[in-house]
Amino acid sequence: KKNPLRAAAEKAASAVLGSSGPEDGVPGKPAAVSPPLQEPTAAQEPLPPKPDQSGPETVSPTGQPTGADPARMAQSGAYLTTAQGARLPDTDHSLKAGPRGPVLLQDHHLREKITHFDHERIPERVVHARGAAAHGVFRGYGTAAKLSKAAFLAKDAETPVFVRFSTVLGSRGSADTVRDTRGFATKFYTEEGVFDLVGNNIPVFFIQDAIKFPDAIHAGKPHPDREIPQAQSAHDTFWDFVTLHTEATHHTLWNMSDRGIPRSYRMMEGFGVHTFRLVDAAGATTLVKFHWKPKLGVHSLVWEEAQIAAGVDPDFHRRDLADAIEAGAFPEWELGVQTFPDTEDQTFEGIDLLDATKIVPEELAPVQPIGLMTLNANPSNYFAETEQVAFHTGHLVPGIDVTDDPLLAGRMFSYLDTQISRLGGPNFGQLPINRTHAPVNDMLRDGMHQTAVHRGVAPYRPNSLDGGCPFLAGEDTGAFVEVPAAVAASRKAREKPASFDDHYSQPRLFWLSMTPVEREHIVAAYTFELGKCYEQAIKERALAVLARIDSRLCEEVAAGLGLPAPGPDSHLTDPEPSQALSQLGGVWPLDGRIIGIVADEAADLDGVRAVRQAVLDAGMVPLVIAPAGGKLDADGDPVTVQRTFATARSVEFDAIVLAGAPGPGGDAAGARDAKAGDNTGTAAQAVTDPRALLLVNEAFRHGKALGAWAGGDSVLAPAGVPADAPGVVIADTGAAVLEALSELLGAHRVWERFTPQI
């Protein structure tokens, strides 16, 4: 019986060599002029996957379990060894000539330990250095199967993924909550090879041509003389660049909107930005834009909150992602596509699909869901996984191809190039986190950090020594074959198309699509950022750009800067607003929301226990905040304190509940009497502690829901919170408070508390 692998290999080999004509093999390949050379066709099974990097088998002299979960232990094996496996008697004392004598050069363990430590760091990413990541799974809905032959998009196909979120400008140790674009890069380990969707949380980009990327990043990064400011766009060089390259106007406006300060990585949209090309089994193509839609909705911080968080918890987003996953609140996103006919001009409704500074409003091309991604596991080791993961827009699988977007073309070069220096050579694809789950049978050899032990003598093809392997695949045997898309006959030129010239109509569309409160945030952001610039000429130029978006926006920012607003632009159009661009208006799941419960020893602790449980039952996270740490009611049914007045800051919580005092039989009236009379009520300490008052006041100013029961509300007035303000719930029991708060939380914030003047 004929070996099927051999038959496929023979077919592919003969197609490539041209012996049976173009119709059998690669489309459009001309027939060979000379008779083809005969290539050996004795196929072999592909080589096994490259060697794994896992640690050595556990070596235990006694065979006794240590009690720790082996999968979570830092080391395997009982004895500390050198890198060569020699067991060590001591790792705390250098080898010396006597206890007080000189250290001996002979001490190999000392030198090995310090040398390795000296080289523990690798260069951080030149952009997107600060990030956090998680493992998960993607399940195809099958709805894209008619557009793309990619196997991972088939119905119910499950594919492991690794996702890294990031900021762009800051260094690896910078704060999470700075105003910036967020990276959203997904690695799909499909059975046909790795597919990377390397996107952002903003659907447009600063520039239209990759050749400007170094300039854009030089302008956004800290000034080269003093290396400040860190992780900020609020400085002269950034605004100099974006006002001189006005194609950046659209992206800059998104950055100045609430999208620039997400509440959580779990609450961000993701976008592939460029237009991609899907290919079905028959070779038909469709242009698409990829969208990730978070199940929890799209939500943001308010600017003051973001600034405070950058100080009190620089790891705010990193912690949030890891905590949510550890708690089982697995974040989910639906992957969707907007589809466009693959026409020769590659435009849709007059929008140039190759211009990465343009969106296609969802009202014109709805996002059609094609699969669900669930992030369900944290990395075990930050360096090995999150730091060493390497994405590339060129990691494509059959069924997904690129377009001629000039920004994308430059990216196709940049990622591999940067990773060679960042990861120390060309073999980073062998690192466990980067390794494909498909069999690898390449002819790439040697190089720094080569971990594969390749067999055979003929890493070239065709060959007659290694059985002729490997053979070439055709489309029918799963090869990735570029779409033979037509290239417009033209001439070489460093030019851009005229359709790239419109820099303002889509920023105006975005502005007009915002609600008043979102517009006010945008005005405040521009006013803050430009207010941090020193050069008057840059501020004036920025105002001239804003006048081309909207005169009210321009006037408000000008007023904040104390500068005259340029006159209105007579070219302004009035595009139909796109509701999909606004973040307000929905009701969203509460998974993983954090509820702070302020209580003390004198509080209604039964009520506190009940609220805690109700918060947990709703899939949210309760954190008890008390004047000091430890336990409340330690001798009875203890309530653990998670935060103290010293460690709690409002930014950590989505809502705050102020516990009441216990009344006779727990009734509220009795509780109020108890509090008012002898200062034993729960609020007694909070009422006089400025840290607790700040907590409540900030939460109020940031539009967070506040609740109190049985006298807990006595904190409100000293904290400057009117008891009748929107989103302040005072009820008789903790349970009633929580019910009302949950309803408020579905809208993310108490938006009525903001009174925009725009």
Q: Which of residues 378-397 bind ligand HDD (CB under 6 A)?
A: 389-391
From residue 204 to residue 243, what is the string marking binding to ligand HDD with x (rule CB under 6 A)? -x----x--x------------------------------
Q: Rg (Cα) of the chain, in Å, rounded?
A: 30
| Active-site residue, selected from the candidate residues 3, 93, 119, 128 | 128
DSSP codes of every residue in 382-411: IIIIIIT----TT---TTEE----HHHHHH
Residue 324 CB, shortest distance to ligand HDD, in Å, is 19
Q: How far apart are CA 235 and CA 228, in angstroms?
A: 9
By the 8 A CB rule, do 510 and 254 touch? yes
Q: Which is nearer to ligand HDD, 199 or 592 (CB)?
A: 199
200, 339, 434, 650: residue in contact with ligand HDD (rule CB under 6 A): 200
- One-letter amino acid of 283: G
**Per CB under 6 A, which of residues 396..435 are in contact with ligand HDD?**
407, 410-411, 414-415, 418-419
Min dist. Cβ of residue 203 to ligand HDD (A): 9
Are 99 and 333 spatial neighbours (Cβ–Cβ below 8 Å)? no
Strands 347-348 and 332-341 turn out to be: unpaired
Taking the least distance from each CB to ligand HDD, the nearer of 129 and 469 is 129
- SS3 sequence of 457-523: CCCCCCCCCCCCCCCCCCHHHCCCCCCCCCCCCCCCCCCCCHHHCCCCHHHHHHHHCCCHHHHHHHH
Which lies closer to ligand HDD via its Cβ, residue 231 or residue 356? 356
β-strand pairing of 347-348 with 285-294? unpaired
Output phi, psi for 163, to 5 deg: -120, 130
In whole angstroms, the minimum distance from the beta carbon of 273 to ligand HDD comes to: 4
Binding to ligand HDD in span 75-134, by CB under 6 A: 125-128, 131
List 185, 288, 554, 668, residue binding ligand HDD (CB under 6 A): 185
Tell me the three state secondary structure of residue 607: helix
* Closer by beta carbon to ligand HDD, 233 or else 733: 233
Taking the least distance from each CB to ligand HDD, the nearer of 157 and 202 is 202
164: contact with ligand HDD by CB under 6 A:
yes
Of residues 14, 41, 159, 166, which one binds ligand HDD by CB under 6 A? 166
347 is a contact residue toward ligand HDD (CB under 6 A): no
Find where tokens 């400085």 sit: 235
Distance, CA of 153 to CA of 141 (rounded, Å): 7
Token pair 């889509």 in the structure block, residue: 506
Among residues 73 and 126, whose Cβ is nearest to ligand HDD?
126
Of 252, 224, 256, the closest CA to residue 237 belongs to: 224
* Nearest residue to 187 via CA among 386, 23, 369, 46: 386
Q: Minimum Å distance from CB 129 to ligand HDD?
A: 8
Residue of 25, 136, 140, 199 interacting with ligand HDD (CB under 6 A) = 199
Rounded least distance, CB 212 to ligand HDD, Å? 8
CB environment 271-286: b (16+ within 10 A), e (fewer) = bbbbbbbbbbeeeebb
User: Tokens for 394?
Assistant: 């060129």
Minimum CB separation of residue 514 from ligand HDD in Å reads: 23
Among 170, 183, 336, 592, binds ligand HDD (CB under 6 A): 183
* Least distance in angstroms from the C-beta of 267 to ligand HDD: 17
Among 151, 268, 356, 557, contact with ligand HDD (rule: CB under 6 A):
356
Distance CA 408, CA 393 (A): 8
**Piece in contact with ligand HDD (CB under 6 A), picked from 193-201, 534-542, 566-574, 737-745:** 193-201
Residue 413 C-beta: closest distance to ligand HDD, Å:
7
Handedness of CA 391, 392, 395, 396 (dihedral sign): positive
Two tokens, residue 221: 């990064």
CB 554 within 8 A of CB 546: yes
Binding mask 247-266 for ligand HDD (x = CB under 6 A): --------------------
CB 103 within 8 A of CB 113: no
Annotated catalytic residue 381 = no
Q: Residues 565, 540: contact at Cβ < 8 Å?
A: no
Of 387 and 475, which CB lies nearer to ligand HDD in the complex structure?
Answer: 387
Q: Could you tell me the smallest distance in angstroms from the CB atom of residue 207 to ligand HDD?
A: 7
Q: Which is nearer to ligand HDD, 298 or 655 (CB)?
A: 298
Give yes or no for residue 277 binding ligand HDD (CB under 6 A).
no
From 150, 151, 273, 558, residue interacting with ligand HDD (rule: CB under 6 A): 273
**How many other CB atoms are there within 10 angstroms of residue 463's CB atom?**
17
Q: What is the arrangement of strands in the sheet containing 655-658, beginning at the earlier edge strand?
A: 643-644, 621-626, 594-598, 655-658, 705-709, 728-731
Q: Which is nearer to ligand HDD, 200 or 650 (CB)?
A: 200
Q: Tell me how far, at minimum, the Cβ of 210 lies from ligand HDD, in Å.
A: 4
- Shortest distance in whole angstroms from residue 671 CB to ligand HDD: 52
**CA dist., res. 72 & res. 92, Å (int):** 24
* Among the residue ranges 3-11, 199-207, 628-636, 696-704, the one whose residues contact ligand HDD (CB under 6 A): 199-207
Cite the DSSP H helix spans in 350-429: 406-422
| C-beta closer to ligand HDD: residue 352 or 732 | 352
Q: Residue 198 or residue 396: which is nearer to ligand HDD going by CB? A: 198
Nearer to ligand HDD, 25 or 199 (CB): 199
Minimum distance of ligand HDD from residue 132's CB (angstroms): 10
φ, ψ of residue 311 in degrees (nearest 5): -90, -50
* Given the residues 109, 135, 200, 235, the one annotated as active site: 200
Measured CA to CA, the distance from residue 229 to residue 222 in angstroms comes to 5
Residue 171: both structure tokens together:
């260094």
Q: Determine how many CB atoms are found less than 10 A away from the CB of residue 701.
A: 16
x/- site string to ligand HDD, residues 281 to 320, per CB under 6 A? ----------------------------------------
Taking the least distance from each CB to ligand HDD, the nearer of 159 and 200 is: 200
Q: Tokens for 60? A: 């235990």
Q: Read off the tokens for 290.
A: 């990829």
Considering only 198, 302, 321, 603, the residue that binds ligand HDD (CB under 6 A) is: 198
CB of 719 to ligand HDD, least distance (A): 41
Angstrom CA distances, 136 to 154, 170, 391, stand at: 18, 26, 16
| Token duo for residue 296 | 């929890």
Q: Which two tokens stand for residue 222?
A: 């800290």
Residue nearest to ligand HDD (CB): 183
Contact at 8 Å (CB) between 603 and 633?
no
Residues in Cβ contact with 126 at an 8 Å cutoff, skipping those fewer than 6 apart: 217, 418, 422
Task: Establish whether 395 is a catalytic residue.
Answer: no
What is the total count of residues that contact ligand HDD (CB under 6 A)? 28
Q: Specify the pairing of strand 594-598 against strand 351-352.
A: unpaired
Residues lying near ligand HDD in the complex (CB under 6 A): 125-128, 131, 164, 166, 183, 185, 198-200, 205, 210, 213, 273-274, 356, 389-391, 407, 410-411, 414-415, 418-419
Which residues are catalytic, by number? 128, 200
